Structure 1
Amino acid sequence: MEKSALQKERAAYQPKLPKALNGAVKVKEGAPTQSVDNQEEIKNLFPNTYGMPVVEFVESDEPNNKRINVGVILSGGQAPGGHNVITGLFDQIKKLNPENRLYGFILGPNGLVEHDYMELTKEIVDDYRNTGGFDMIGSGRTKLEEEEQFEKGLEILRELDIKALVIIGGDDSNTNACVLAEYYAAKNCGVQVIGCPKTIDGDLKNEQIETSFGFDTATKTYSELIGNIERDCNSARKYWHFIKVMGRSASHIALECALQCQPNVCIISEEVEKNDMTLNQIVDNLCQVIAFRASQGNHFGTVIVPEGLIEFIPAIGRLIQELNDLLAAHGAEYKDLDADAQREYIIAHLSKENAATFETLPADVARQLSLDRDPHGNVQVSLIETEKLLSDMCAAKLEKWKAEGKFVGNFAAQHHFFGYEGRCAAPSNFDADYCYALGTSAAQLIANGKTGYMAIVKNTTRPAEEWVAGGVPITMMMNMERRNGKMKPVIRKALVDLDGNPFKTFVGCRDRWAKETCYVYPGPIQYWGPSEVCDQPTKTLALEHVK
């Protein structure tokens, strides 16, 4: 395939590994574990993969030459570094035994079910080292949750003599990996299943998983773009820029970009929920900042809006929960109605409180809330133009204030949504190293007979050779949540910790950022140069590990 000059140079980059993964390893096991909540329910659902210990890899004098074929699946949305997970996995299984083979299932989990695959050879893998995207084998969002799917997958695994499957994905995808691992363990199929923590949203993390891969690169990409807008904003001095950034539920991306760029306003959904704020209160707070800056002669500014904000406004969150249940139960009779009839249907079937909330929403937002869900039953919040909704409401309120003499000046808005721009970026040195180490760890978990585990790498604010690699039982991260009207086992999402150091650092600065123009222009990701520039982790990760 055609390569850019950057890609040719990056192909020669050798990712750094934790010291323990550079040679033969053995497993050091910790104490038995339990799920984060609903322990009895999770234990009953996963009797064969529950309670296993966290494991750590340590150096060994005895090489492992295990003969094993491995399958790999990229699942869910793209995240920078996915190819390096595969290259780390490939290099390590070949290092264990040159006869080992790696098979990639095409376009996600559906490739396993439909027996669509390709063998990943050295020639193929070498073309994708240190590149962004998932285009080596593609990704998909098919859920693996039905026995028929498991059995269809087992047919091709046996045909190719695949003894282990690595699923690279986010919280929902790794929940599916856990379900699959349990099914194959219960049937004694001899197939191991290992997960890898992927999502640019940053919400797949806990005490064992310090960060999900892709978050570093995506936030640095978005921060470059936001910095460019801030520079333009500070040059023209006539627009307020409302910038929505990805993060379906948690506000980690918004918070990280704020810490990097220092915008005038950054809304944190988790804080909105905690303070039981209404949409009108959010708009009122924004207008106060806009009016103050106008009084100082500054008719411009930047606002960062998290993608999932609308779900965290408590009244709207309650509405969405009931809408989810309503559409899960009655979607078939609802979907063929025209737009007006759909609106009437929803209002007639909602509780009085939620119907009242639905009726107060602008028509386009109400419509977007009642669109089809994604495959996991979630509202497709990326389709809701929250940034435009907020600026329109600000414009209306400021016009009212102007008539009352409370606002003197001009307000003009520009709108941006940064999502796809960051998902397939060429991985930063951090993500290139981190992902390669995750792939290597996944191979070692397989070689050491583990299943139902997620590969992990810890101590990531230190130099890569000091990182600590291992695995955590996926059941340890699970609880029961309502999905599509039913209680299901899922990995608990990590939201922004309002008591955590990253958020507290932001809170300590935001009043000054609101009043003054304190913009920082991070610039593009750097791949060569001083380590403090090229290998730095995100500000979120650094602040979380301040001793």
Structure 2
Amino acid sequence: MEKSLLQQARASYVPKLPIALRGAVGIKEGAPTQSADNQEEIKTLFPNTYGMPLIEFVAAEKSDAAAMNVGVILSGGQAPGGHNVITGLFDTIKKLNPENRLFGFILGPGGLVSHNYMEITADFIEDYRNTGGFDMIGSGRTKLEETEQFEKGLEIIRKLDIKALVIIGGDDSNTNACVLAEYYAAKQYGVQVIGCPKTIDGDLKNSQIETSFGFDTATKTYSELIGNIERDCNSARKYWHFIKLMGRSASHIALECALQCQPNICIVSEEVEAKDMTLNEIVEQICTSVAYRAANGDNFGVVLIPEGLIEFVPAIGRLIAELNDLLAAHGADYKDLDADAQRQYIISHLSDANKATFETLPADVARQLSLDRDPHGNVQVSLIETEKLISEMCAAKLKQWAAEGKYTGKFAAQHHFFGYEGRCATPSNFDADYCYALGTSAAQLIANGKTGYMAVVKNTTAPVEEWQAGGVPITMMMNMERRNGQMKPVIRKALVELDGAPFKAFAAVRDTWAKETCYVYPGPIQYWGPSEVCDRPTMTLILEHK
């Protein structure tokens, strides 16, 4: 593999570890845990992995050299730092016992089921230290939820003498890890399953998980791009830039980028839902800023829009919920019809209120809402051009205001969607360290005989040596939610908290940003230089830990 100069330089970076993980490691167990909600249902579904204690790693005088082969899977969308989870896992199991072996399953969970794997060796792994992407072994979105899959995976696990699987993924992937851990425990197969919290979306977060890996790097990467657009915007002074940001349902990425870049407008989906706002009210909020700035000669600005916004407009959210049930029950009846026939079929099966909402949507948006879901049953919101929908509605509203004498400016829009640009970026120092510590923690959970746990690292706004590593039972994060027409156990997504410090800090200054040009240009993501620049965590983490 030919390396760029950056890759060559980053390869020499040595990730820092918390003190407790630097030598021999012991464990300290906390009190028994319970699920986030629906305790009786979750306990019934996971009798062998429910109620386990929190684990904290502590320095020890010595640790036994455990003999164990380990399998690792990258699941779901890419996030910066995944390779460092694997390098941390590899280095630690080799440190525990040089005879231990690590096997990577190719292209995600499907590789386990299809027995598609490779051994990760010392020579091979050197090319991937501190690199972005998941190209070491690839990723995939196959859901592990069927007994046949579990048993098929067991065949290769037995063949390779694998003691434990590490599944690196988001909330849905770690839910699958919990189901797999419970199945193998119930069957007394002696196979451990450990999860690692991955997602740039920032929605895998709770009292035990301070941040998911990749969020730091992705938001810094997007903020660099947004800062570049802001500077261009302030130079040309003739465009309003509408920027949609990846993030699935939650608005964490949009909010973090707003805190870093100070755009004129940032829509937060969770606030839209809480205030029962309509699309028209969102448009009026933006147009009020456009008109105010135009009156001061500023016919330009920047608007950040979270990817999942459309689902949080309450009327559309209710429509999507009914469409989900309709697709689950009758999708086969209409998926092969032509567009007009499909639309009429859907309209004839919707309740009156949701039918009215469906009929008011632009045809392409309505069609995208009614198409197939992703493997986890979610609307594929990245395919919906929300930024164009809103800018077109703004143009129409401003035209109306101009006719009424309320607006005299010029409005021209540019559109951007930042998603893939950040998922495979070279990890920041924070993510390089954090991910290496997560991989190390996963290995220590295996060595200590744990299953059904997620590796965690806490106290992450402190210097790395003061970070606290350990494990949390995955069942502790679960509740029952409706998915594909059925109630299922899932890890609860963490959305932006409107009474949380990050949102409050944003809300305190957004009116000023809407009127004035307050742009901040973060510049390229930093790897070297003063610690206050290159090792700085996200604004979200800093504000949450003040």
| Both proteins in one fold, TM over 0.5 | yes
Letter in 2 for 1:337: L
Residue of structure 1 equivalent to 2:349: 349
Name structure 2 gaps, 5 residues minimum: none
Per the alignment, residue 371 of structure 1 pairs with: 371
Shift of 1:63: 2.0
- Structure 1 position 505, deviation (Å): 0.1
- What is the CA-CA distance between 1:364 and the residue it aligns to? 1.1
Specify the alignment match of 2:395 in structure 1: 395
Give the equivalent residue in structure 2 for 1:221.
221
Residue matched to 1:450 = 450
Partner SS for 2:509: helix
Cα distance between partner residues in 2 of 1:218 and 1:43: 36
In 2, the alpha carbon distance for the partners of 1:299 and 1:5 equals: 41
> What is the match of residue 104 of structure 1?
104
Which runs of structure 2 are paired with 1:5-16 in the superposition (5 Å)? 5-16=5-16
State how far apart, in whole Å, the 2-side matches of 1:435 and 1:248 are. Answer: 22
Distance of 2:188 and 2:163 partners within structure 1: 12
Structure 2 residue identity aligned to 1:252: H
Displacement of 1:273 in angstroms is: 0.2
Q: Provide the C-alpha distance between the structure 1 equivalents of 2:86 and 2:25, rounded to a whole number of angstroms.
A: 20
Aligned to 1:64: 64
1:62 CA drift (Å)? 1.9
Per-residue CA deviation, residues 276-321 of structure 1 (Å, 9 max, x unaligned), is: 0001111111111100000111000000000000000000000000
CA distance in 2, matches of 1:48, 1:62: 30
Q: Conserved in 1, the CA contact under 8 Å of 2:92 and 2:440?
A: yes
Task: Please state whether the residue corresponding to 2:128 is helix, strand or coil.
Answer: coil
Which AA in structure 2 matches 1:105? F
Q: Is the 8 A contact 2:26 2:63 kept in 1?
A: no
* Aligned-partner Cα distance in 2 for 1:533–1:409: 39
What TM-score, normalized to structure 2? Answer: 1.00
Alpha carbons 2:74, 2:167 under 8 Å: kept: yes
Task: Describe the SS at the equivalent of 1:285.
Answer: helix
- The superposition leaves residues 227-284 of structure 1 with CA deviations (integer Å, 9 ceiling, x where unpaired) of 0000000000000000000011000000000000000000000000000000111111
Point out the more displaced range, 326-335 or 168-177.
Answer: 326-335
**Bigger shift: 106-115 or 62-71?**
62-71
Once the two structures are superposed, the pairs formed by residues 311-350 of structure 1 within 5 Å of their partners are: 311-350=311-350
Distance 1:524 1:185 in 2: 47
Aligned AA (1:56): E
Q: CA deviation at 1:44?
A: 0.2
Cα distance in 2 for residues equivalent to 1:336 and 1:208: 45
User: 1:492, 1:243 → 2: CA distance?
Assistant: 27
Q: Measure the CA separation in 2 of the matches of 1:529 and 1:304.
A: 30
Matches within 5 A, 1:242-281: 242-281=242-281
| Structure 2: distance between partners of 1:406 and 1:137 | 57
Q: Which runs of 5+ in 1 are unaligned?
A: none
Question: What residue is the counterpart of 1:540 in the other structure?
Answer: 540
Aligned to 1:131: 131
State the 1:536 CA deviation.
0.5
In the alignment, residue 37 of structure 1 is paired with which amino acid? Answer: D
2:501 and 2:543 in contact (8 A); partners too: yes
C-alpha separation between the residues in 1 aligned to 2:406 and 2:518? Answer: 25
Equivalent runs, 1:410-425 vs 2, <5 Å: 410-425=410-425
Q: Distance in 2 between matches of 1:490 and 1:98?
A: 37
Equivalent residues in 2 for 1:155-170, closer than 5 Å: 155-170=155-170
* Contact 2:84–2:129, Cα closer than 8 Å, also in 1: yes
User: How many angstroms apart in 2 are the aligned matches of 1:532 and 1:397?
Assistant: 44
The question of whether the paired residues in 1 share the 8 Å contact of 2:287 and 2:394 is answered with: yes
Aligned to 1:290: 290
Q: Are 1:116 and 2:116 matched, yes or no? A: yes
* Distance (whole Å) between structure 1 residues aligned to residue 494 and residue 151 of structure 2: 32
Q: Distance in 2 between matches of 1:368 and 1:236?
A: 34
Q: How does 1:68-217 map to 2 (within 5 A)?
A: 68-217=68-217
Structure 1's consecutive aligned runs of 4 or more residues displaced over 3 angstroms after TM superposition are none
TM-score with structure 1 length normalisation?
Answer: 1.00
**Secondary structure of 1:195 counterpart:** strand
Q: Secondary structure at the match of 1:31?
A: strand
Q: Give the C-alpha shift of residue 375 in structure 1.
A: 0.3
Counterpart code for 1:123: D
**Counterpart Cα distance in 1 of 2:270 and 2:118:** 43
2:470 corresponds to: 470
Q: State the identity %.
A: 83
Please report the RMSD computed on the Cα atoms of aligned residues, expressed in angstroms.
Answer: 0.4
In the alignment, the residues of structure 1 paired with residue 88 and residue 468 of structure 2 have an alpha-carbon distance, to the nearest angstrom, of 16
Deviations 1:20-77 (A, max 9, x none): 0000111100000000100000000000000000100000012220000000000000
Answer yes or no: is the 8 Å Cα contact 2:83–2:129 preserved in 1: yes
Q: Tell me the CA shift for residue 371 of structure 1.
A: 1.4
Render the CA deviation track for 1:383-423: whole Å, top value 9, x for unaligned.
Answer: 00000000000000100110110000100000000000000
Render the CA deviation track for 1:207-234: whole Å, top value 9, x for unaligned: 1000000000000000000000000000
User: How big is each residue's C-alpha offset from its partner over 1:184-228, in whole Å with a ceiling of 9 and x where there is no partner?
Assistant: 000000100000000000000001000000000000000000000
> What is the match of residue 306 of structure 1?
306
Distance 1:62 1:24 in 2: 5
Partner SS, residue 134 of structure 1: coil
Give 3-state SS (helix, strand or coil) of 2:326's partner.
helix
Q: Deviations over 1:55-104 (max 9, x none)?
A: 00000012220000000000000000000000000000000000000000
Question: How many residue pairs are counted as aligned between the two chains?
Answer: 546
Contact map agreement 2:13 2:130 (CA 8 A) in 1 = yes
The one-letter amino acid of 2:67's match is R
Say whether residues 1:50 and 2:50 are aligned partners: yes
Q: Cα offset for 1:109?
A: 0.1
1:236 aligns with 2:217: no
Please give the secondary structure, in 2, of the residue aligned with 1:469: strand
Instruction: Give the counterpart letter for 2:497 in structure 1.
Output: D
Match of 1:54, SS state, is strand
Letter matched to residue 376 of structure 1: H
Residue 434 in structure 1 maps to residue 431 in structure 2: no
Code of the aligned partner of 2:347: I
Q: In structure 1, the residue corresponding to 2:32 is in which secondary structure?
A: coil
Q: Secondary structure in 1 aligned to 2:488?
A: strand
